[in-house]
Structure 1
Amino acid sequence: MVSATLRTLVVSTALVAGSISLPAWAEDSSYTTKDLNEQLVMANLWMQASAEFKALSYQAFNLAKMRFDSYANAHSGTKKIAIVVDADETIIDNSAYEAWLVGRNEGYSGKTWGEWMNAAEAKALPGAVDFLSYVAQQGGEIFYLTNRKVSGLEGTRENLKALGFPQVDDEHLMLRTTTSDKEPRRMKVAEKYDIALLMGDNLHDFSKDFNTKSLAQSYAAVEKNKALFGTQFIILPNPTYGDWEGKVYDGNWGASAAEKDKMRKAHLDPWQPKQ
């Protein structure tokens, strides 16, 4: 624990030297989850308020339509064409749940997330319903491959149907059962269909290549598959949460709010002005 006297000494010395950088001197006893949740503000504000976020969503689905048409025009196989889409932050927007955490001394939990799913109040991302409706009209199959647990099936189905998404039924809605690894479910779709596109907001929505344990491994997997982004893989922007965050914590999701704050800031690459 850093004493108030020591902190005052460090700050005073930095001021005399003519430069100062004040990181959050987070202490386990004083830095809370409520404090950490303040870091959600800008990401959620961008998702909910910026026209740029909407534009990026339209861009993704415009590109998806072009790639789907290109694949369909060149398709000569005997299987029907399908696309595989994630749900959360890919076709529906859960930023309201993340924004609800701001100002509260609690983080994500299965209980409150379950209440959010059952409320069926997520909004459609711009362009998502139009694109998936187009795919269905062209005879394509749509598989909603999400890691929402089956306990959220009814709320998820109600939410997607109310928003106008097509083919929301037991065959096409593939929630998580025994594993969060999406590869077995992707392979199940591939047994009967030729997959034209995969869409998601996390890298593990696309391939088993991205079932990585570190940031370095994720970077390497992206390099290996870079030609597929924008062609077979289309990724949506999600700055609020994801598999990448766990890698920042070296897999330690149970770290305290203070520890998470420190690990997040340790991964920043700040500018260093010349003295």
Structure 2
Amino acid sequence: MKKIIILVISGTVLFYSCKKNTVEKEITSQDHLIMSVLWYQQSAEMKALYYQGFNLAKFKLNEKVVNSGTETKKAVVVDIDETMLDNSPTEAKCIETGESFTNENWIKWTSRAQAKALPGAVEFSKYAESMGVDVFYISNRSLDEHENTLKNLQSEGFAFADSNHLLLKETDSSKKSRREKVSENYEIIILIGDNLGDFSEIFDKRNQNNGFDLVEQYKNDFGDRFIVLPNPMYGAWEKPIYEFKRDLPEQEKYKLRKSKLISY
């Protein structure tokens, strides 16, 4: 009888131990990305939204060129990642391996120079070229990624895929100084991106309400000078979710994500 009790207790402890480990494994994985990555890769709505965004950008570009009262050269500034190129495979790899995003696994991806052009992106760059408007690619990829980024843009057939039109991050992640550099010789008529920081430095530092007040303040610029493209996978919008704390354990991130949900 004593042996039976010991076996039952041992089995119970082992069961709960395994159950606890399973829960921890679920929390430390990247499974929270599954639906957003699936939407990005598998939904026709995603494709439609990109076409819609670039169609609107072409319409506004034409309008601004025709109505321009100056001889100043015109330019469009675009972000690269999740704006012109699709990097969702690296998010899928994080889900597959259970690893969080790191610079190392990002470089492993970009060194392949295999990201596909997003719907309507190449066509828009060529339309801008046909209208006499330059396209500048301003990205927070590092300078070490310059060669492979250029190779990727060129292989996908983008217009203006050259070193003069590719401005990567040097020290400051804010894109303000690079936009100002373009503005020295060009009038920037449209900016396109998936993150508010792609449009203006006013969006770089968001408060606890995630920049909703700033969007409200500049609402008339969206769909006119600012063209926003969808990215549900990652972005600066995550920072307020995690209370602006870096390097949080995955368990803590999991709790914070759930705490920010609005239910009824």
Same fold, TM-score > 0.5, yes or no = yes
Counterpart of 1:263?
256
Question: Does the alignment pair 1:102 with 2:90?
Answer: no
Counterpart of 1:134?
127
Residue 33 of structure 1 deviates from its aligned partner by 7.6
CA change 1:215–1:236 in 2 (3 A) is farther
Counterpart of 1:88?
81
Does the 8 Å CA contact 1:145/1:185 hold for their aligned counterparts? Answer: yes
Counterpart of 1:229?
222
Residues 183-216 of structure 1: CA deviation (Å, up to 9, x unaligned) = 1111111111111100000000001110223242
Given the alignment, which residue of 30, 41, 45 partners 1:37? 30
Structure 1 distance, partners of 2:191, 2:246, is 28
Structure 1 residue matching 2:54: 3-state secondary structure: helix
TM-score (normalizing by structure 2): 0.89
TM-score (normalizing by structure 1): 0.85
Which residue identity does 1:204 align to in structure 2? G
Question: Does the alignment pair 1:77 with 2:70?
Answer: yes
Residue 142 of structure 1 deviates from its aligned partner by 0.6
- Greater shift, 248-257 or 140-149, is seen at 248-257
Aligned pairs (5 A) from 1:181-200? 181-200=174-193
Does the 8 Å CA contact 2:210/2:237 hold for their aligned counterparts? Answer: no
Structure 2 distance, partners of 1:28, 1:243, is 31
Given the alignment, which residue of 204, 208, 212 partners 2:201? 208
Structure 1: segments with no counterpart, 5+ residues: 1-26
Given the alignment, which residue of 140, 144, 148 partners 2:137? 144
Structure number with greater Rg is 2
- Greater shift, 166-175 or 229-238, is seen at 166-175
Count residues in correspondence. 245
Does the 8 Å CA contact 1:33/1:106 hold for their aligned counterparts? Answer: no
- Kindly, what percent of the aligned residue pairs are identical? 41
Deviation beyond 6 Å, 4+ runs, structure 1? none
Does the 8 Å CA contact 1:31/1:257 hold for their aligned counterparts? Answer: no
> Pairwise CA RMSD of aligned residues?
1.7
Structure 2: segments with no counterpart, 5+ residues: 1-19
Structure 2 residue matching 1:48: 3-state secondary structure: helix
